[in-house]
């Protein structure tokens, strides 16, 4: 069984329905969603979660009405401007992932500034995915790998070799994915990274997903047995061995961690400007 998720990822769904139920415009739901993100970040700090990654805008969300897209992007700029001091004072390191080439210069500048100002935070890594799609990520990583290895063929590319080029690098793989709002799908979020992640689907709409809901998700996670393709018996045997040798990890997953990845990678992905901040 697990004890504590080191990396939580959240698909924040249900802002629109939250506002519709109250006969309010969708923009109000998104505003409340942003405010709830602030509370959930605080709860993660209190609960000693080290990495939190949230899905704020997908590559498919451009299909929404233009006014809603504009509202969301205004909100992202405002969030970055207003939250930065608080994030800094709480020791939170902010990073934005996704294809930033379509962003306004104002948003790009604000992202760069926010990342620079919070770069020394060690309490929590907050990663916000904007204009992110899992398929896009895998494709950009493959292209970046090929650009960095012009004399190698794709036959030589391995799973471990690709990972430093994914835009989540060097975050550890997510332990727990939470999706609010009642849907049970990944919607192209971190599809590579979540291969072994525990998936928790909640009917609660995002603006109402509070610290108690977060705790329920974490309690549920604590009951899961992560087998990584092994049998129950193998897991039990390896846990007993660890306990005997005093090395029980409390469920820390045997996944790729930042420190186990190559440190000299570079990338031509479109979020390249943000990546050097995270290279060790």
- At closest approach, how far in Å is the CB of 105 from ligand FPP? 19
> Of 13, 99, 125, 175, which residue is the catalytic one?
13
- At closest approach, how far in Å is the CB of 181 from ligand FPP? 5
Q: Is 175 a catalytic residue?
A: no
Asked if omega into 169 is within 30° of 0 (cis), the reply is no
Question: Which of 30/95 has CB closer to ligand FPP?
Answer: 30
- At closest approach, how far in Å is the CB of 272 from ligand FPP? 22
Question: Which of 38/242 has CB closer to ligand FPP?
Answer: 38
Helix (H, G, I), strand (E, B) or coil at 111: helix
Q: Is 61 a catalytic residue?
A: yes
Q: Are 33 and 209 in contact (CB under 8 A)?
A: no
Q: How far is CA 73 from the centre of its chain?
A: 19
Of the candidates 139, 135, 53, which has an alpha carbon nearest to the alpha carbon of residue 97? Answer: 53
Question: Which of 114/267 has CB closer to ligand FPP?
Answer: 114
Beta strand extents in 87-202 (DSSP E only): 92-97, 124-132, 176-179, 198-201
Question: Which of 69/261 has CB closer to ligand FPP?
Answer: 69
Contacting residues toward ligand FPP, per CB under 6 A: 12-17, 30, 33-34, 37, 56, 61, 72, 75-76, 79, 128, 181, 206
Give the strand order in the sheet containing 198-201: 92-97, 124-132, 51-58, 7-11, 176-179, 198-201
Q: Are 171 and 94 in contact (CB under 8 A)?
A: no
CA distances for 269 relative to 12, 53, 83, 152, 191, angstroms? 25, 19, 27, 18, 17
Helix (H, G, I), strand (E, B) or coil at 156: helix
Question: Which of 114/256 has CB closer to ligand FPP?
Answer: 114
Nearest residue to ligand FPP, using CB?
Answer: 16
- At closest approach, how far in Å is the CB of 214 from ligand FPP? 15
Q: How many CA atoms lie within 13 A of 269 on its CB side?
A: 29
Question: Which of 55/145 has CB closer to ligand FPP?
Answer: 55
> Of 6, 15, 36, 61, which residue is the catalytic one?
61
Q: How far is CA 184 from the centre of its chain?
A: 17
**Burial status of residue 261 (CB atoms within 10 A of its CB: 0-12, 13-18, 19 or more):** middle
The residues annotated as belonging to the active site are 13, 61
């Amino acid at each position: 069984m697990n004890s504590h998720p080191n990396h939580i990822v959240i698909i924040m769904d249900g802002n629109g329905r939250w506002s519709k139920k109250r006969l309010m415009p969708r923009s109000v739901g998104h505003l409340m969603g942003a405010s709830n993100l602030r509370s959930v970040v605080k709860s993660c700090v209190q609960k000693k979660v080290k990495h939190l990654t949230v899905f704020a805008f997908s590559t498919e969300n451009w299909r929404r009405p233009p006014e809603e897209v504009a509202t969301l992007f205004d909100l992202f700029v405002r969030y970055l401007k207003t939250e930065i001091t608080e994030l800094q004072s709480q020791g939170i390191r902010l990073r934005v992932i996704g294809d930033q080439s379509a962003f306004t210069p104002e948003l790009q500048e604000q992202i760069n500034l926010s990342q620079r100002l919070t770069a020394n935070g060690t309490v929590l890594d907050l990663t916000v995915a904007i204009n992110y799609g899992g398929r896009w990520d895998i494709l950009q990583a493959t292209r970046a790998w090929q650009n960095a290895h012009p004399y190698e063929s794709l036959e030589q590319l391995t799973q471990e070799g690709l990972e430093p080029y994914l835009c989540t690098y060097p975050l550890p793989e997510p332990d727990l994915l939470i999706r609010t709002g009642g849907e049970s799908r990944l919607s192209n979020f971190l599809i590579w990274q979540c291969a072994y992640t525990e998936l928790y689907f909640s009917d609660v709409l995002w603006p109402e997903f509070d610290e108690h809901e977060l705790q329920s998700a974490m309690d549920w996670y604590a009951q899961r047995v992560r087998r990584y393709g092994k049998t129950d018996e193998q897991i039990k045997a390896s846990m007993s061995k660890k306990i005997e040798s005093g090395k029980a990890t409390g469920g820390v997953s045997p996944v790729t961690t930042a420190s186990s990845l190559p440190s000299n990678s570079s990338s031509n992905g479109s979020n390249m400007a943000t990546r050097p901040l995270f290279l060790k």
